[in-house]
């Protein structure tokens, strides 16, 4: 049944993304941007409070970040742009209108390439425009049973960029890939923190289905209240199945907005804002229009860093790494930079790249993740990692000791060589010290020795482990193994 429906219907998804821009002040007033823990109504002035008679002034940096986003998405950058008023009444909208861009957005006709299961597809970007965010509402029911809302104006006037895609997305996987890549780009160019959980990146997929082969669009449903990549995927999947179910049972899809409920795994109809489609846009009289010179655009382009897709390609070509490694390394610009800095410290870059990648994507990433630290804030430097790998390759320390050293460098920022010396972790080269440890281990573990002699090859691994433990990781495991085999081998035959 599911297979049959997948054959007969095609999913069509368009994505609207809103992202807070990483400016220092608000869109139209000099208030600082609120942080996640700003107390209510403390980053507010008469302009973002919507008092009568105040005048907004455009934040130049916000315009530049929007243009840079447009460039990163292969958009055409408008020569003329203009702000408009979008009129509606709602308690989170202080002025009774939102300043936005209606028919002259800063960027149009872009494209973002996404990769799903090795296949690449271009998703059209209809437009990127600039607007302001609204205040935050808290819905309250007090012990007396009264229901009301509380307004925190901090978020009012925060620069907000809207990125609208063409209805080119065909699967929940593609929708997720689009958002992941978009987030990566926004972070690379420093346009936004783009964190869905923190609410500074929000997405609203428009979902419809149509008979496969049809070129007409079905009735679309807009999904809201999605605040993680997991939810995007789950919500779209749910909605597609629901729509296919409705159509199969002879029903019709109603155009509406549905809110995702992660608890029950359903998207349920939301009461929409009244007359929501009657916004009566008109040009914002308080803001003179923008004329965007090509010189300015080129100047912004010249400040743009290497984008994720270009970096992935370069990393594969230059360092000969697998797509898997490269994907992880280029997850953030800081991680990619760390990798390149560590690799660049040695002459044989290509040989070293794999070892550095393994550390950066492995132990290092795991520690950063577990302790919730960003790589740029870590105490480990590219020099440290390079030095550690030198120590391993020179045979000075074992892999096991290296992990311990890395932990210590991670915790305290001390150079690996220093840690090795201080803690006496340098590998015991002297075979006789290992040999005496082997003697002690053999004496202490008669059962394992007997198993091994009885033909159970696996038992040797346990014994090697015991030798490593006995020498606090300072033995070369291969030497330990050889010595063990020699000692036990004679008796086994």
Distance CA 352, CA 373 (A): 25
265 in contact with another protein (CB under 8 A): no
Among 63, 77, 236, 391, binds another protein (CB under 8 A): 63
59 in contact with another protein (CB under 8 A): yes
Q: Least distance to another protein from the beta carbon of 56, Å?
A: 10
Closest to 208 (Cα-Cα) out of 181, 244, 233, 184: 244
98 in contact with another protein (CB under 8 A): no
239 in contact with another protein (CB under 8 A): no
489 in contact with another protein (CB under 8 A): no
- The dihedrals phi and psi of 20, each to the nearest 5 degrees, come to -70, 135
68 in contact with another protein (CB under 8 A): no
Q: Least distance to another protein from the beta carbon of 92, Å?
A: 8
Q: Least distance to another protein from the beta carbon of 93, Å?
A: 11
By CB under 8 A, which span of 37-45, 198-206, 315-323, 334-342 interacts with another protein? 37-45
- The dihedrals phi and psi of 181, each to the nearest 5 degrees, come to -70, -40
Among 6, 46, 113, 212, binds another protein (CB under 8 A): 46
Q: Please list, residue by residue across 142-153, b when 16 or more beta carbons sit within 10 angstroms of its beta carbon and e when fewer do.
A: eeeeeeeeeebb
Q: Which residues pair with 315 in a beta bridge?
A: none
CB 123 within 8 A of CB 165: yes
Residues 285-344 that bind another protein (CB under 8 A): 285, 287-291
Contacts with another protein by CB under 8 A: the residue count is 56
Among 4, 6, 79, 150, binds another protein (CB under 8 A): 150
Q: Least distance to another protein from the beta carbon of 110, Å?
A: 23
- How many other β-carbons are positioned within 10 Å of the β-carbon of residue 46? 11
Residues 441-470 that bind another protein (CB under 8 A): none
Nearer to another protein, 68 or 336 (CB): 68
By CB under 8 A, which span of 26-34, 332-340, 404-412, 443-451 interacts with another protein? 26-34
Q: Least distance to another protein from the beta carbon of 85, Å?
A: 11
Distance CA 73, CA 112 (A): 6
Distance CA 318, CA 403 (A): 28
Distance CA 488, CA 484 (A): 6
Helix (H) or strand (E) holding 136: strand 136-141
Residue with tokens 């620069």: 159
Distance CA 160, CA 292 (A): 19
Secondary structure class of 192 (helix, strand, coil): coil
Residues near another protein (CB under 8 A): 23-25, 30-33, 39-46, 49, 57-63, 82, 87-91, 137-140, 147-153, 225, 259, 270-271, 273-275, 278, 280, 283, 285, 287-291
């Amino acid at each position: 049944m599911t297979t049959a429906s997948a054959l007969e219907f095609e999913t069509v998804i368009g994505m609207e993304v809103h992202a807070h821009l990483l400016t220092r002040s608000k869109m139209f007033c000099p208030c600082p941007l609120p942080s996640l823990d700003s107390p209510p109504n403390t980053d507010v002035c008469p302009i973002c409070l919507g008092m009568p008679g105040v005048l907004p002034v455009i934040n130049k940096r916000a315009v530049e970040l929007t243009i840079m986003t447009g460039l990163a998405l292969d958009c055409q950058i408008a020569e003329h742009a203009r702000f408009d008023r979008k009129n509606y009444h709602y308690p989170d909208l202080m002025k009774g209108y939102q300043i936005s861009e209606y028919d002259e957005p800063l960027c149009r006709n872009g494209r973002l390439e996404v990769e799903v299961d090795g296949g690449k597809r271009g998703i059209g970007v209809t437009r990127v425009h600039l607007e302001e965010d609204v205040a935050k509402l808290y819905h309250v029911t007090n012990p007396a049973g009264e229901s009301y809302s509380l307004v925190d104006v901090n978020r009012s006037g925060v620069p907000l960029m809207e990125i609208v895609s063409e209805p080119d997305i065909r699967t929940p996987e593609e929708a997720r890939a689009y958002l992941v890549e978009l987030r990566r780009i926004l972070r690379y160019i420093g346009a936004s923190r783009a964190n869905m959980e923190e609410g500074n990146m929000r997405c609203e997929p428009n979902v419809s289905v149509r008979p496969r082969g049809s070129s007409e669009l079905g009735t679309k449903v807009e999904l809201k209240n999605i605040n993680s990549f997991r939810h995007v995927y789950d919500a779209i999947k749910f909605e597609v199945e629901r729509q296919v179910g409705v159509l199969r049972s002879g029903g019709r899809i109603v155009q509406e907005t549905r809110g995702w409920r992660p608890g029950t795994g359903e998207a349920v109809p939301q009461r929409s804002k009244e007359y929501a489609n009657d916004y009566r846009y008109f040009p914002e009289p308080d803001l003179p229009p923008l004329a965007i010179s090509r010189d300015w655009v080129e100047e912004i382009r010249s400040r743009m860093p290497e984008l994720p897709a270009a970096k992935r390609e370069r990393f594969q070509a230059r360092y000969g790494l697998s797509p898997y490694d490269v994907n992880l390394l280029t997850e953030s610009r800081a991680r990619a930079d760390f990798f390149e800095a560590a690799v660049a410290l040695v002459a044989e870059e290509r040989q070293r790249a794999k070892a550095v990648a393994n550390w950066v994507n492995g132990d290092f990433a795991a520690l950063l993740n577990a302790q919730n630290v960003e790589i740029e804030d870590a105490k480990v430097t590219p020099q440290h990692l390079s030095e550690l790998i030198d120590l391993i390759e020179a045979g000075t320390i074992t892999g096991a000791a290296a992990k311990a050293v890395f932990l210590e460098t991670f915790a305290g920022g001390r150079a690996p060589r220093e840690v090795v010396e201080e803690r006496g972790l340098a590998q015991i080269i002297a075979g006789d010290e290992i040999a005496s440890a082997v003697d002690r281990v053999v004496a202490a573990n008669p059962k394992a020795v007997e198993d091994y002699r009885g033909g159970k090859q696996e038992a040797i691994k346990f014994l090697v482990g015991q030798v490593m433990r006995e020498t606090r990781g300072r033995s070369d495991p291969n030497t330990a193994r050889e010595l063990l085999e020699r000692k036990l081998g004679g008796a086994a035959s």
